[in-house]
Structure 1
Amino acid sequence: MRCYWDEEDIWFYFEVDAEGWVIRQVELEGPELRPVAAASLVEWQRACDAGRLDEYDSRFGITAEPPVSEWEGHDPEALTSEEFEDVWVRARCRIASGQLTPRPIIST
């Protein structure tokens, strides 16, 4: 799914599991849709276990908490898994390549 936050001009893209927890998240900012986050919950947990959480957060961000069923004030649009994957791959490649510096994720 995806949601738009007009106050910050950011599109949030989410992949969620069956219980509604965000497992991957992308944030695209401004009219140029600049990737500012592309975080994976599994990677975040691995980084935490390895003592490298600050490094992961500063590079890729974090996923939103709590589960989507508890969110208020958002009107999400459904996406296919292919649509999410396309956004994920492009954002992740730009961030991983160091072409830009992401900012911390704003939790929803």
Structure 2
Amino acid sequence: MRCYWDEEDVWFYFEVDAEGWVIRQVELEGPELTPIAAASLAEWQRACDAGRLDAYDNRFGTTAELPVSEWDGHDPEKLTSEGFEEVWGLARQQISSRPG
């Protein structure tokens, strides 16, 4: 799914599991849709276990901490898995290519 937050001019793209937890999240900012986050819960957990959480957060960001069912005031648009994968791939490529 995806949601738009007009106060910050950010599009949020989410992949969620069957219980509504976000497992991957992309954030695109401004009219240029600049990737500012492309986080994976599994990668975040591995970084945490390895003591590299700050480095991961600084580069890729984090996923939402509550399941979708507990969100207030969002109006999600459905998104195909192919649509999410396209956005995910481009965002990860751009973020990974930045000096860091």
The two structures have a TM-score, normalised by structure 1, of: 0.91
Sequence identity (%): 80
What's the counterpart of residue 17 of structure 2?
Answer: 17
**Number of residue-to-residue matches in the alignment:** 100
Q: Output one character per residue of 1:64-83: Cα deviation in whole Å (capped at 9) or x when no partner.
A: 01000000000000000000
Q: Output one character per residue of 1:13-35: Cα deviation in whole Å (capped at 9) or x when no partner.
A: 00000000000000000000000
Matches within 5 A, 1:34-73: 34-73=34-73
In the aligned structure 1, how far is the partner of 2:78 from the partner of 2:59?
27
The two structures have a TM-score, normalised by structure 2, of: 0.98
Structure 1: unaligned runs, 5 residues or longer: 102-108
Structure 2: unaligned runs, 5 residues or longer: none
Q: Output one character per residue of 1:37-89: Cα deviation in whole Å (capped at 9) or x when no partner.
A: 00000000000000000000000000001000000000000000000000000
C-alpha RMSD over aligned residues: 1.0
1:11: Cα distance to partner? 0.1
In the aligned structure 1, how far is the partner of 2:68 from the partner of 2:12?
13
